[in-house]
Amino acid sequence: MQRRLGFALVVIVVFAVGTLMAMWPAPINDSGSLPADQDYPPGAGPNAINFTTLDSTETNLTHTPRAHWDSYVLGFTETPDTPPVEGTYNINSTTGEIIADRVHGATVYRSGSVYAFVQPAEGLTNDHQRKQFADDDAYVYDNATEAYYRYDQQYGHLAPTTIGRHDAIVESYIWEAVNTTTHHGVPVITYRLTGRQPAADRAQPAESGTLWLGADDGVIYAYDLTLETGDNTSRYSYRVRPAPFPDHEWVQTATRLQLATDSSS
């Protein structure tokens, strides 16, 4: 009887320990730690990332990843969801075309100096928003597709600083390099969040964070960040990854409507 009881207690203890280990985050694998002579891109090091130096290099998200993929996407999500002013960016590596999401379900297209915009009417939720588009001569409403369009052949060039600023949130924190890996075939250095920058005292406290930095080009290819927001937590996720370039036949509609407007004026 005592042997059976002792065996049962051992089973219970083993089960409890196993359950706790499953709930506890897995530790960093030290066998993959970085060597002392690890090379870092300008602005990065084993115990810190100087984001100002990263931003000052010639690499940027509109051009640098083109060397790796035919087309790619800059995707950003956060929980709880908030209406994006600038959402997902899609970039065609061959042509340089850019398609991006905007607030209220709108989509914008850029190719050199060409700019096109479409706003589905169903995305405008109140009369004030609808009146803004109806009163603006830059937009043309198309009854067939129930959307507002804009097309401008000389809109100007897109500055690199206006795209992909979703990574600005990670600049308030301190990062430590832990290992190297690949991100969709691109060599990257994995960083773990270790604290908050002294000058960023207004930044939200962070629970955890992981960042993947291009080992050769210093581009931030991905990060996961969990912040404390009162009694809740907010999660931010960012990925630069290969993806097919979206269909954009609507740009032809925008072009046609603008040509019709120009010919009638």
Q: In the predicted model, what is the mean pLDDT of residues 46-56?
A: 91
Taking 90 as the threshold, does the pLDDT of residue 216 lie above it?
yes
Higher pLDDT among residues 120 and 11, named by residue:
120
Reported as a pLDDT band with limits 50, 70 and 90, residue 229 is: confident
Reported as a pLDDT band with limits 50, 70 and 90, residue 22 is: very low
Residue 21: both structure tokens together = 């280990």
Q: In the predicted model, what is the mean pLDDT of residues 136-154?
A: 96
Q: What is the pLDDT of residue 4?
A: 44
Q: What is the pLDDT of residue 13?
A: 38
As a whole number of angstroms, the distance between CA 24 and CA 119 comes to 46
**Cα-only R_g, the chain:** 25
- State the average pLDDT for the chain: 84
Query: What's the start-to-end Cα distance of the chain, in Å?
Result: 100
Q: Where are the domains of the chain?
A: 45-265
Q: In the predicted model, what is the mean pLDDT of residues 179-208?
A: 95
Q: What is the pLDDT of residue 26?
A: 36
As a whole number of angstroms, the distance between CA 206 and CA 234 comes to 9
Higher pLDDT among residues 20 and 172, named by residue:
172
Q: Which of 236, 93, 245 is nearest to 168 (CA)?
A: 236
The fraction of the chain above a pLDDT of 70, given in percent, is 82
Q: Tell me if 70 sits within 8 A of 59, measured CB to CB.
A: no
Higher pLDDT among residues 76 and 161, named by residue:
76
Q: What is the pLDDT of residue 2?
A: 42
Q: In the predicted model, what is the mean pLDDT of residues 112-133?
A: 95
As a whole number of angstroms, the distance between CA 93 and CA 245 comes to 9
Q: What is the pLDDT of residue 263?
A: 85
Q: In the predicted model, what is the mean pLDDT of residues 10-18?
A: 39
| Range scoring the smallest mean pLDDT among 70-79, 160-169, 226-235 | 160-169
Reported as a pLDDT band with limits 50, 70 and 90, residue 55 is: confident
